[in-house]
Amino acid sequence: MALSIEVVVESWPIAGTFAISRGSKREATVVVVRIGDGRISGRGECVPYPRYGETPEATLAAIAGLTDVAAAGSLDRLALQDLLPPSAARNAVDCALWALEAKRSGQPVHQLAGRSPPVPVTTCYTISLGDPAAMAAAAAAVPGFPLLKLKLGGAGDIERMAAVRAARPEARLVADANEAWTDDLLEPLLAAAAAHGLETIEQPLPDGRDDRLASILHPLPVTADEAAHAADSVDRLVGRYDAVNIKL
C-alpha cells in the first residue's frame, strides 16, 4: 500500500542545563516522522546522536529519502532494515511503522510483536554532570525518585559519587561516564563506585580503547553504552562488559 511520509525537526527547551562529559545543552532537538496511508498515520521520533556523527538535518534528509519507496508501496519494517543503516533515522521510521500497523490492526504493539503486556517499571532520573555540591543538591531535590543515574566526567568523580550518596543514602544509584575515564582512573573509580553502592557504571572507557576492561576484576557490573551499536557489535563486548545498554 502506498504510504506518505512527513518529517519535521522540533526543539524543546530544557529546564536549566543538561551536561555530560562531552558537553552541555539547553534544548533537546527531536526529529518527528509521521507515516500514513491517507486514513491512518503512525508517529515515531528520534534524537540524533552527535557522538555517532548524526545531525538533525542529515537525519531528516535520510527519512525524507524514503518518500518514493513509501509512495510505491515498498516500505515496511523488514524492508527498512536494508534501506537505512542502524541509526536514529531508522529507529524513528521503525517506530512509526509499528504505530501504523497497530492502528490498522486494532491491536497494541506488544500483541503484534508476540510479547507480554507492558507493566510499570522504575526508570532512572538523570543527575547532570556538575560539581559535587551541585549534583548532591540535584539529587536531594527529587526525593520521590528512587533510582538515580549520575553523569560522571573523570577527575573529581569520587567526590561526586560520595556527595550524591550522602545526599540520598536510601537511593539506588547507577552512573554513566560517557567514555570520560582513563586507564589510570579506571580501577580506583570502579572501587569507589562499588564502595558507595552503585549498581553499574556505563561506558567508563572510550569505545575502541576499552581493552583494559578485560584484564581487571569488576567490583560492580560495567555496562556497554557507546561501544554497543547494533547486534553485530555484541561479540566484541564479551569479556569486557557485563551488560549492554540498549538505546531506545
Cα–Cα distance, 204 to 224 (Å, whole number): 9
Query: Can you say how many angstroms the Cα of residue 248 is from the centroid of all Cα atoms in its chain?
Result: 6
Active site residue 149: no
Parallel/antiparallel/unpaired status of strands 147-151 and 172-176: parallel
Look at residues 247, 196, 243, 200 and name the one whose alpha carbon lies nearest to residue 224.
243
- The residue annotated as part of the active site, out of 25, 103, 149, 247, is 247
DSSP 242: S
- The residue annotated as part of the active site, out of 25, 103, 149, 151, is 151
Query: Can you say how many angstroms the Cα of residue 28 is from the centroid of all Cα atoms in its chain?
Result: 13
What are the residue ranges of helices labelled H in 1-131? 56-64, 67-71, 77-83, 88-105, 109-112
Here the cell at position 185 is: 582512573
Residue 222 near residue 241 (C-beta atoms within 8 A): yes
Cα–Cα distance, 185 to 161 (Å, whole number): 14
Residue type, 1: M
H or E segment to which residue 193 belongs: helix 183-195
**Residue whose C-alpha cell reads 576499552 in the numeric block:** 210
Q: Which residues are catalytic?
A: 151, 247
